[in-house]
Structure 1
């Protein structure tokens, strides 16, 4: 029973993109590990850019500097 947790910043990810991530991740586990898609769990966490840091800055700050 695989469990995959995908963490992304909450920057306008569409439902279609999320569905593609779930489908693609599930298919990868089916293809590589022969896992049953009915018992494969994919969870997507959207993280506020204020709560995601790279180096010494938050993603919010990095986006503002660009």
Structure 2
């Protein structure tokens, strides 16, 4: 692996997870990337974007409207 390689994983989720759930996701993504491409964990970046339920839609219905 090149010295300048910094794997970046971006995950977009509907808002509403607990901090503990998000922390577990970060750990799981870091482990998956490290094991699958032999990247050192300290070089892996994980970005989580939480989208309000009113800004996340499928089939012209927002997640807020589904609840």
Query: Which band: TM-score by shorter chain?
Result: 0.7 to 0.9
What per-residue deviation string (whole Å, max 9, x for no partner) do you get for residues 31-53 of structure 1?
11101111100011110000001
Question: How far apart, in 2, do the equivalents of 1:18 and 1:41 lie?
Answer: 14
Give the alignment partner of residue 43 of structure 2, picking from 39, 44, 47.
39
Unpaired runs of at least 5, structure 2? 1-5
Aligned residues: 62
RMSD, matched Cα: 0.8
Q: Equivalent residue for 1:14?
A: 18
SS in 1 for 2:26: helix
Unpaired runs of at least 5, structure 1? none
Question: How far apart, in 1, do the equivalents of 2:66 and 2:22 lie?
Answer: 24
TM-score between the two structures when normalised by the length of structure 2: 0.86
